[in-house]
């Protein structure tokens, strides 16, 4: 795993020129929640409460462990949340309460719609 | 030291975005600054630090992304340049095609003029 190098100032995410291996092909679709994360990012930008620069900064500061263990859109939604908290759009407590409420609906969209009852 | 310097043909039109008083001009030889070892969101990739190239064009003035990343307004705007590098300059003996070139867009605070002797 790459780490920040305090000797040179090269940060963990700055991978340009390193061996990257094969590029994954376009043989995957996006889940509904991933499309919603993309939409949230677009809306937050249009509202002027978020920038792609802030997204990148938050992703970088999440560190190499997050890069290895979280998926692309998991990292995006975490970085978006970080930026919205910093911008004062939501508080930590509000976000926690809402996430608990959503989690209580169930594991799947079917559960959330009451299919499990 | 002999460095491979690519030739440039600046585009025959004005920068597509507003530009104030750029310190550099197409054709100028520049060195990318090495940067410090400190924290922060940095918009100049590691593999270009310290490399010498030539200004290919002026792109315009844009809010500083290294400030936008932290929720500030990025003012004053900084001049963005497209800089052309020889692959041999960037990768040395590792360059697969040393005569190829690479263009990168870099903000003025990261560039210093090199006066050819």
Cβ pairs A/B, distance under 8 A: 44
pLDDT digits (tens, 9 = 90+) for A11-63: 999 999 888 888 888 888 899 999 999 999 999 999 999 999 999 999 999 99
**How do beta strands B101-107 and B111-113 pair?**
unpaired
Q: How far apart are the CA of B12 and the nearest CA of chain A, in angstroms?
A: 31
DSSP of A98-116:
HHHHHHTT-SSHHHHTTTT
Q: For domain A32-112, give the CATH number.
A: 1.10.472.20
Report the pLDDT value the prediction gives residue B1, as an integer from 0 to 100: 46
Half-sphere exposure (Cβ direction) of B38: Cα atoms closer than 13 Å: 5
- pLDDT one digit per residue (tens) for chain B, 117 residues: 456 799 999 899 988 888 999 999 999 999 999 987 778 899 999 999 999 999 999 999 999 999 999 999 999 999 999 999 999 999 999 999 999 999 999 999 999 999 865
Query: CB–CB of A53 and B68 under 8 A?
Result: yes
Kindly give the pairing relationship between strand B29-32 and strand B111-113. Answer: antiparallel
How much is the ipTM here? 0.85
- Which residue do the tokens 């975490």 mark? A78
The residue length of chain B stands at 117
Cβ atoms within 10 Å, residue A45: 14
For residue B101, the cross-strand partners are B86
Pick from A11, A16, A51: CB nearest B47:
A16
Q: Which of residues 80-99 of A touch B (CB under 8 A)?
A: 83, 86-87
The C-alpha atoms of residue B101 and residue B87 are separated, in whole angstroms, by 5
Distance from CA of B47 to the nearest CA of A (A): 6
> Nearest Cα to B35, choosing from A56, A10, A3?
A10
For B36, which of A9, A56, A57 is closest by C-beta distance?
A: A9
Q: What is the per-residue pLDDT for A108? A: 83
Measured between CA atoms, the residue of chain A closest to residue B48 is A16
Q: Does A7 touch chain B (CB under 8 A)?
A: yes
More confident residue, A117 or B24: B24
- Out of A8, A14, A53, the one facing B69 most closely (by C-beta) is A53
- What is the set of domains in chain B, with CATH numbers? 29-113 (2.30.30.50)
Rounded to two decimals, the pTM is 0.87
- The C-alpha of B117 sits at a distance from chain A's nearest C-alpha, in angstroms, of 29
Number of other residues whose CB lies within 10 A of the CB of residue B7: 10
Q: Do B35 and A9 make contact, defined as CB atoms within 8 angstroms?
A: yes
Using CB atoms, pick whichever of B37, B41, B71 lies closest to residue A86.
B71
Tokens 């190499």 locate to A64
**Which of residues B104 and A9 earns the better pLDDT score?**
B104
Residue A25 has a pLDDT of 82
| Nearest CA distance, B27 vs chain A (angstrom) | 25
Within 10 Å of residue A112's Cβ, how many Cβ atoms? 13
| Nearest alpha-carbon partner for A87 in A44, A117, A52, A57 | A44
Strands ordered across the beta sheet of B101-107:
B101-107, B78-86, B52-62, B29-32, B111-113
Within 13 Å and on the Cβ side, how many CA atoms surround A41? Answer: 20
Asked whether the beta carbons of A16 and A51 are under 8 A apart, the reply is: no
Contact residues on chain A for B51, CB-CB shorter than 8 A: none
The pLDDT-based confidence of A1 (bands split at 50, 70, 90) is confident
Closest partner CB to A7 (pick from B37, B42, B71): B37
Judge residue A51's burial from the number of C-beta atoms within 10 Å of its C-beta, 0-12 exposed, 13-18 middle, 19 or more buried.
buried
């Amino acid at each position: 795993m790459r780490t920040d190098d305090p000797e040179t100032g090269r940060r963990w995410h700055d991978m340009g020129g390193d061996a990257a291996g094969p590029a994954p092909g376009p043989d995957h679709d996006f889940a509904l929640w991933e499309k919603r994360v993309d939409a949230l990012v677009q809306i937050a930008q249009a509202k002027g409460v978020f920038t792609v620069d802030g997204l990148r900064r938050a992703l970088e500061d999440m560190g190499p462990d997050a890069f290895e263990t979280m998926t692309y859109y998991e990292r995006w939604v975490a970085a978006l949340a970080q930026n919205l908290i910093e911008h004062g759009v939501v508080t930590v407590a509000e976000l926690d309460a809402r996430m608990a409420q959503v989690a209580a609906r169930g594991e799947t969209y079917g559960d959330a719609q009451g299919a499990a009852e | 030291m002999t460095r491979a310097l690519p030739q440039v043909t600046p585009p025959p039109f004005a920068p597509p975005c507003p530009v104030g008083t750029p310190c550099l001009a197409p054709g100028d030889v520049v060195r990318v600054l090495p940067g410090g070892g400190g924290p922060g969101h940095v918009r100049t990739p590691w593999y270009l630090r310290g490399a010498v190239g030539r200004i290919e064009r002026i792109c315009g003035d844009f809010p500083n992304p290294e400030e936008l990343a932290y929720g500030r307004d990025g003012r004053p705007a900084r001049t963005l340049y497209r800089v052309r590098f020889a692959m041999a300059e960037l990768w040395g003996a590792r360059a697969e095609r040393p005569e190829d070139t690479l263009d990168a867009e870099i903000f003025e605070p990261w560039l210093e003029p090199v006066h050819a002797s």
